[in-house]
């Protein structure tokens, strides 16, 4: 009885195994054939695979589709992990993506520090008045606090009038590029009024003076005739 039960059990197990094999065979037989990515030439270990290295195989069955590539774009620019012979299907385990270098962290933005204006004390009984670069026409780049300048203003089209002579500069503000942004002068109250009365007529010009004091023979007018400047004095 025992022996007959054992034989029956073995026969039953064999039948189940045979049924499974037949089922898988029929399942694979119904699966459509697919083409896979293959090499058209030998690929060396460490080589970066390019489009011209690849081709498509003939339609094949009984290939574990999940383990092999079916699109060339999925293989291009990957690195071969080992030598791959010509005509061989490329499995996913044969290649790896190129490791891109890590993007460096951005440097912390440096805080821009505005340049402090260069200044000297305003003399007693004088007033400080500032003209911006919008009010000045090409001021001398070398001017510094302590320099003296003549301040001129254009009158009409042909004359440039000297408004003030030998004016003391007490402050110069510059940009980060060292360009002049404004100039501060020390003036008497009367000189302030005179300067403001001309400031509406146009931009001022500064002429760097080598003299530190007032010059009694200072030029009052510069007349421009055919491009030639002629000085006029007020007597």
Task: State whether 210 and 134 are in the same domain.
Answer: yes
Task: State whether 146 and 53 are in the same domain.
Answer: no
User: Band of the pLDDT at 83, cuts 50, 70, 90?
Assistant: very high
Task: State whether 71 and 174 are in the same domain.
Answer: no
Phi-psi region of 166 (alpha: psi -120 to 50; beta: other; left: phi over 0): left
pLDDT of residue 222: 42
Task: State whether 143 and 59 are in the same domain.
Answer: no
Q: Read off the pTM.
A: 0.44
Task: State whether 86 and 133 are in the same domain.
Answer: no
Higher pLDDT, 112 or 21: 21
Task: State whether 93 and 122 are in the same domain.
Answer: no
Residue pair 192/179 in contact by the 8 Å Cβ criterion? no
- Say which CATH number the domain at 93 has: 3.90.1210.10
Domain that holds residue 163: 118-232
Residue 112 lies in a domain: no
| Cα–Cα distance, 51 to 40 (Å, whole number) | 10
Task: State whether 124 and 93 are in the same domain.
Answer: no
Residue pair 174/209 in contact by the 8 Å Cβ criterion? no
Residue 194 lies in a domain: yes
Task: State whether 155 and 78 are in the same domain.
Answer: no
Phi-psi region of 25 (alpha: psi -120 to 50; beta: other; left: phi over 0): alpha
Residue 108 lies in a domain: no
| Cα–Cα distance, 119 to 26 (Å, whole number) | 97
Q: How many CB atoms lie within 10 A of CB 75?
A: 21
Residue 3 lies in a domain: no
Task: State whether 127 and 92 are in the same domain.
Answer: no
pLDDT in tens, 126-169: 999 999 988 888 899 889 999 999 998 877 677 778 889 999 99
pLDDT in tens, 100-118: 777 777 777 666 656 677 8
Task: State whether 74 and 127 are in the same domain.
Answer: no
User: Band of the pLDDT at 204, cuts 50, 70, 90?
Assistant: confident
pLDDT of residue 35: 85
Domain boundary among 66, 98, 130: 98
Q: How many CB atoms lie within 10 A of CB 25?
A: 11
Instruction: Read off the pLDDT of each residue in 167-185 and give the average, rounded to a whole number.
Output: 91
pLDDT in tens, 40-72: 999 999 899 999 999 888 888 777 778 889 888
pLDDT of residue 191: 92
Residue 14 lies in a domain: no
The position carrying tokens 């990957």 is 78
Task: State whether 46 and 94 are in the same domain.
Answer: yes
Q: What percent of the chain has pLDDT over 90?
A: 28
Residue 63 lies in a domain: yes
Residue 13 lies in a domain: no
Residue 107 lies in a domain: no
| Cα–Cα distance, 188 to 204 (Å, whole number) | 18
Total domain count for the chain? 2
pLDDT of residue 230: 44
Instruction: Read off the pLDDT of each residue in 198-222 and give the average, rounded to a whole number.
Output: 63
DSSP annotation of 51? G
Task: State whether 156 and 211 are in the same domain.
Answer: yes
């Amino acid at each position: 009885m025992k022996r007959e039960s054992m034989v029956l059990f073995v026969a039953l197990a064999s039948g189940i195994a045979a049924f499974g094999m037949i089922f898988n065979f029929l399942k694979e037989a119904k699966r459509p054939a697919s083409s896979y990515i293959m090499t058209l030439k030998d690929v060396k270990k460490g080589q970066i695979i390019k489009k011209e290295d690849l081709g498509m195989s003939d339609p094949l069955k009984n290939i574990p589709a999940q383990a092999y590539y079916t699109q060339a774009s999925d293989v291009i620019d990957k690195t071969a992990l080992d030598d791959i012979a010509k005509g061989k299907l490329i499995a996913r385990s044969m290649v790896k993506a190129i490791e891109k270098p890590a993007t460096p962290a951005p440097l912390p933005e440096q805080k821009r520090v505005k340049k402090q204006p260069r200044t000297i004390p305003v003399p007693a009984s004088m007033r400080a008045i500032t003209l911006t670069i919008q009010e000045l026409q090409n001021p001398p780049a070398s001017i510094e606090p302590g320099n003296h300048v003549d301040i001129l203003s254009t009158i009409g089209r042909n004359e440039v009038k000297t408004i003030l002579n030998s004016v003391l500069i007490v402050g110069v503000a510059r940009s980060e590029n060292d360009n002049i942004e404004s100039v501060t002068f020390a003036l008497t109250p009367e000189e302030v009024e005179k300067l403001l009365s001309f400031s509406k007529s146009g931009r001022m010009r500064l002429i760097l003076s080598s003299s530190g004091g007032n010059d009694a023979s200072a030029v009052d007018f510069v007349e421009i005739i055919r491009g030639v400047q002629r000085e006029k004095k007020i007597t």
